[in-house]
Amino acid sequence: MIEAGRDVEFIKVGDLVSVPFNIACGRCRNCKERATGVCLSVNPARPGAAYGYVDMGGWVGGQAEYVMVPYADFNLLKFPDKAQAMEKIRDLTCLSDILPTGYHGAVSAGVGTGSIVYVAGAGPVGLACAAASHLLGAACVIVGDLIPERLAQARSFGCETVDVSKSATIAEQIDAIVGAPEVDCAVDCVGFEARGHGKDAVKEAPATVLNSLMEITRAAGALGIPGLYVTGDPGGIDDNAKVGRLSIRIGLGWAKSHVFTTGQCPVMKYNRQLMQAILFGKINIAKAVNVEVITLDDAPRGYRDFDKGAAKKFVLDPHGFVRKAA
């Protein structure tokens, strides 16, 4: 932290901290219940806010040289020892968003010791969810995507993979891996930009992941849904998709007594424990998501590569701090 506002009591200039992507006041009913992803005070338009994100309260920053963090004592996570933290700084950068988000997806899907897990999506959130599932003790983590490099990245740290663009269904591919066409826990790390499956993998089909997860998840199982669904998508594939209305087969989920957990991840619920897991070497998240640290000037290239499906998590390092530590 480089400067403190007059009401900041506990965080000091010079502290090394992690900033959750959610902004939360720490005083409202939801914050008191640890639902900091839907804080009631920081966005006049709706519950929940984030830095530099459309429709999330108008807060600037996030991907910038500096960011102003409101309610800093509440929002910031201080690393206990700067020198120790700098040794793991590439991993610790993942604490702001993807690691807690992936972990939240796994926890809300009920992942625990011995679970068979399917994670839809091998982007940074999906890979973080897969690594988190290993941390939680899953017996077998199967990651689905249609980008070969991303599936190879998932295999690089011990996941099984499913290529959703193949003609074999997800259930058939899961059957070939675990000997049954279903899983205990499923996590949607794709959201509304989902592609269809099989020959439909070339098209956007926003309800595909949710419907397929209901098919493959055991009765009485749970679906973690960190993948984003929106209330408005002007570029949506039809009039329904444009207002976030999807053709979801809820009857199937109901018949199987599925539990659904949606929404922004309440980062603060998990970031301290995950920091300790990183500091004590229990999870190698930077390796799992293939962190590449880049300058702010290089961000447009990072975005281009990411849009093309690079199997990487680009971390912006505006002041060269992370690169110096490496």
What residues line the site for ligand NAD (CB under 6 A)? 97, 101, 120-126, 144-147, 150, 164, 189-191, 194-195, 197, 208-209, 226-228, 264-265, 309
For 144, other C-beta atoms within 10 Å of its C-beta total 29
Q: Is 314 helix (H, G, I), strand (E, B) or coil?
A: strand
Burial class (CB in 10 A: 0-12, 13-18, 19+), 281: exposed
Least distance to ligand NAD from the beta carbon of 9, Å?
28
Residue 11 or 274 having the CB closest to ligand NAD = 274
Least distance to ligand NAD from the beta carbon of 208, Å?
5
Residue 85 or 189 having the CB closest to ligand NAD = 189
**Which residues sit opposite 224 in a β-bridge?**
187, 261
Residue 90 or 150 having the CB closest to ligand NAD = 150
Least distance to ligand NAD from the beta carbon of 127, Å?
7
Least distance to ligand NAD from the beta carbon of 105, Å?
8
Provide the token pair at 284.
């190698």
> What DSSP string describes 260-304?
EEES---GGGTHHHHHHHHHTTS--HHHHHTEEEE-STTHHHHHH
Residue 122 or 142 having the CB closest to ligand NAD = 122
DSSP 126: H
Least distance to ligand NAD from the beta carbon of 152, Å?
12
Provide the token pair at 100.
């807690």
Provide the token pair at 26.
């720490």
Residue 188 or 317 having the CB closest to ligand NAD = 188
Least distance to ligand NAD from the beta carbon of 92, Å?
17
Q: Which residue is nearest to ligand NAD (CB)?
A: 123
Residue 93 or 101 having the CB closest to ligand NAD = 101
Contact predicate 80/87, CB 8 Å: no
CA distance 34 to 24: 10
